[in-house]
Amino acid sequence: MRIPVPGVLAFHSHTHFSTASGEIVTINTPTPRRYPNRLGLLGWLGKGRHGLERYLYTLHRLTGLALLGFLVFHIFVTSSRLLGRQVWEPLMALTHHPVFQAVEFLIFAAVAFHALNGVRLLLVELGGAAGKPEEPVYPYKSSIHKQRPLMIAMMLLAGVFIALAGFDFFLPGH
């Protein structure tokens, strides 16, 4: 008996055809049938059922999308220089607005997190932080003893960079 799993394809269907002698033959042919994803966007965000790594995964995706959006915006603003001084100078005047400076800080925070989490992922995926292969018995020792301390170290380093940048961004006279 198959137990349906949400969001997983299930294959079950029958095809009927007749042979040259007129005999009807039934063959099982796979046709996809989707089960509904009941969790939707909340399932993608984790909904409290996953460990810290799942939230880092989600935040890594979101910061990547934010940085991509910033890159497109930055190219648009920089290309406005081609339209002349009357377009360029009002746009550059906006950079002194406090809201723009706060967004600039958030962009830096996204860069710091995304870069250091990316380094952590590279170390884990390329085997530097995975350790020797061992039998997968829960709790997974490589995850707890090697990957978790690396994650904590990288996130603390990102926090230090973000805090130092916050002083530089928000102290008067900078």
Question: Dihedral sign, CA of 30, 34, 35, 39?
Answer: positive
Question: Where residue 29 falls among pLDDT bands split at 50, 70, 90?
Answer: low
* Of 69-73, 100-104, 123-127, highest mean pLDDT: 69-73
Domains of the chain and any CATH numbers: 1-38 (no CATH), 44-170 (1.20.1300.10)
SS3 11: strand
DSSP-based helix, strand, coil % in the chain, nearest 5: 60, 10, 30
* Residue located via tokens 């550059």: 92
Q: What is the pTM of this model?
A: 0.64
Dihedral pair phi/psi, residue 9, rounded to 5°: -75, 140
